[in-house]
Structure formats: C-alpha cells, structure tokens
C-alpha cells in the first residue's frame, strides 16, 4: 500500500539548528496520526514540510507516492488547520469556508452550496451569514475545519488546533474530530504538545525530541511500554525507577517505568516496598499521593472509592509485575 505521507531520511536545518534530524516515517492512508513533543522538538517543522511551507535540507518526501520537494503548497493534496484559525474577519462564515474554492475559480453558486454542506458537516448549519467575530472559539475552530475540508484534501494537517479552547470544549472537540475523521476516512496528521489529546484521538503517535522520533507506536504501546526515560516522563505521568532500585526488585539493573495508577497502596506497612506519604492531592475522581521510598519520590493514583492514607502515614506499595516496564534506553 502506498503511504499517504512518507519521510525518507528527512532533515531540515536552520543554520546550525537541526530542527528535523534524519526522520524516517510512513503514515497510512486514512490514519489519524499524531506528532507529539515539547516545543522545539521538530513536530511542527515536519508538518510544515508536508504542507510545503518548508523544504527539506536533505532526504525525500512523498505524498501518496508523488514527490513533494519543490511542489508549492497550493499544488499539494493537503490542507492545514492552524491554531489561530486564520479566518478573514471581513468575510462572513460561508465566504471564509468557500475562499479556497473561489481561488480555484469555482462558480459562486456552486461554491456557496459546497460551503454550506461543509458547515453542516461540522455542525454549523445556518451560521453562514455571521462574521468570525460573532462566533465562540469552538465555532471558529469548526469554521476553520470546514474551510480546510471544502477542498477535499487527501491529507488534513492540524497544527495544535485545540490549544486556544478551554478544557471542556477541548474534550468535546477531540471527540468530534475523531468522529469526523472516521466518517470522512481522510488522513489526519495532528501536531500537539498535549499527550492527552494524542492518546485519546490518534491511531498511532510519533514522540519527537530534538528533531528525532524517540518512539513510534499505538497510544497504548507508547503509554504502557515507553522505550526511554524521556518518553515515559513526557507521555503521561510515570514513576521512572533507577537501575539499582529495579535490580533489588527484579534482579535486572535496568531503568523502568511504573504508571501511578498501577500502584496499589495499603495502609498497613510491612510489604516488600514501604514508604512515607508526603503529599496528598484531591483530583475529584481520584487522589494523587506522593510517597517517599528509599530516597525516591513515587506517585500513586487512587480511585475516589478508596479512602486515601493521610500525610505522614507509612504505607506498603505493590503492583502487578507486568506493570513494571523495563525500558530499552536510560536517556
């Protein structure tokens, strides 16, 4: 099967800065693919390379088997949704959505019809006559999405499009984006620094750092089986355990990852691992504990149904052996 997007040894340098450093990557047609990483990790530069806003310093990029280097953005079968939405304030909603069709020379009646259909797709029927300034943040995000989809791209690029929304609306839009992607079967490439967004929406995740892919896999693989301390720390909260501590437990001197929700806490001390509760944070649906164990600070997340121990209390800790993941790399 021809990849929707293929990076073959791709690098992008800005002077001495290696923004993207020899990336190999294949994104499948119809896949919801997330590029996850901190600021400056290279994920947005990769998105701009796909869009055609940047050209590679080295390597080769293909979009559905066609060479992308040197092809301008308007000749690629891709569209981009930006974090700031980039809507034209002087145009009404339907004119914003239809703008790309106007540039392509589509007749006015036809482009308005297609734009109205796109607005229905993103659940904004009847909003065509409004101006962007009359919309909420979530509505503007939907308009930007409709504008990108109206040109029927084969690849839709999303550059942190939910970053400006409040938590409840962001969670709602995550569900809607995932549902829309399944309905359209368009390849989505989603850039974010929010691991919750990536885990909840993506079919696969590439975790970036310093211009390189540190791990590539399904959300469950990346979360439960991180390859390195960086991935364990960045993708969700994790107890990263040093080799000497792990060796006493398993006989293997390896760095290990243990997710807080996997830790069982018993009020009665005397187990194989004991510690002192030094902090307790109520999170609503759960309580997060910080526990000092042999000079380490471990975290545990207890469900709201379990009464948590008090600060200053000595407790026993346990977990299933399968939840203690030995990592390939210490870095």
**Same domain for 78 and 123?**
yes
226 within some domain: yes
Question: Are 21 and 143 in the same domain?
Answer: yes
Q: Which of 214, 233, 252 is the last residue of a domain?
A: 233
Tokens for 281, please give them: 């944070």
> What are the start-end ranges of the H helices in 235-318?
243-250
The pTM (predicted TM-score) of the whole model is: 0.89
41-50, 84-93, 310-319: least confident range = 84-93
In a domain, 331, yes or no: no
Claim to verify: residue 52 and residue 81 sit in the same structural domain = yes
Does 164 have pLDDT greater than 70? no
Structure tokens at 203: 């079919």
- Whether residue 89 sits in one domain with residue 215: yes
179, part of any domain: yes
First-to-final CA distance of the chain: 35
Q: Tell me what the pLDDT averaged over the chain comes to.
A: 91
pLDDT band at 169; cut points 50, 70, 90 = confident
- Which structural domain, as residue segments, surrounds residue 147? 5-233
Taking a C-beta distance cutoff of 8 angstroms, is the pair 185, 164 a contact? no
CATH number of the domain encompassing residue 249: 2.40.50.140
Domain final residue, candidates 208, 233, 258: 233
Give mean pLDDT, residues 2-9.
96
Q: What is the mean pLDDT of residues 224-233?
A: 93
The answer on pLDDT for 277 being more than 90 is: yes
Q: Is 164 exposed, middle or buried (0-12, 13-18, 19+ CB in 10 A)?
A: middle
The answer to whether residues 27 and 189 touch, using CB atoms and an 8 Å cutoff, is: yes
Number of domains in the chain: 2
- Asked if residue 194 and residue 145 are part of one domain, the reply reads yes
Model pLDDT, residue 237: 83
């Amino acid at each position: 099967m021809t990849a929707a997007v293929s990076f073959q040894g791709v690098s992008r340098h800005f002077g001495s800065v290696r923004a993207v450093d020899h990336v190999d990557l294949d994104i499948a047609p119809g896949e919801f693919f997330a590029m996850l990483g901190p600021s400056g990790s290279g994920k947005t530069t990769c998105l701009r390379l796909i869009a055609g806003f940047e050209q590679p310093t080295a390597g080769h990029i293909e979009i559905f088997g066609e060479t992308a280097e040197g092809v301008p953005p308007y000749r690629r079968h891709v569209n981009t949704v930006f974090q700031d939405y980039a809507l034209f304030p002087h145009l009404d909603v339907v004119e914003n959505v239809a703008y790309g069709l106007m540039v392509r020379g589509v007749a006015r009646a036809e482009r308005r019809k297609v734009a109205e259909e796109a607005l229905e797709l993103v659940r904004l029927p009847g909003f065509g006559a409004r101006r962007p300034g009359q919309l909420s943040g979530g509505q503007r995000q939907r308009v930007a999405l409709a504008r990108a989809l109206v040109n029927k791209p084969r690849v839709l690029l999303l550059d942190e499009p939910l970053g400006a929304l409040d938590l409840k609306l962001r969670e709602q839009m995550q569900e809607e984006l995932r549902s829309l992607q399944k309905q359209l079967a368009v390849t989505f490439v989603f850039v974010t620094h929010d691991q919750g967004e990536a885990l909840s929406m993506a079919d696969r995740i590439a975790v970036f750092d310093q211009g390189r892919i540190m791990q590539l896999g399904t959300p469950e693989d990346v979360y439960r089986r991180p390859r390195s301390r960086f991935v364990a720390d960045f993708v969700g909260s994790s107890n990263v355990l040093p080799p000497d501590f792990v060796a006493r437990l398993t006989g293997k001197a390896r760095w290990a990852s243990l997710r807080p929700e996997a830790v069982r806490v018993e009020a009665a001390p005397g187990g194989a691992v004991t510690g002192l509760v030094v902090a307790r944070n109520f999170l609503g649906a759960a309580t997060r504990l910080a526990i000092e164990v042999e000079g380490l600070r471990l975290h545990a997340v207890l469900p709201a149904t379990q009464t948590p121990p008090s600060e200053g209390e000595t407790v026993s800790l346990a977990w299933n052996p399968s939840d203690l993941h030995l990592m390939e790399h210490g870095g």
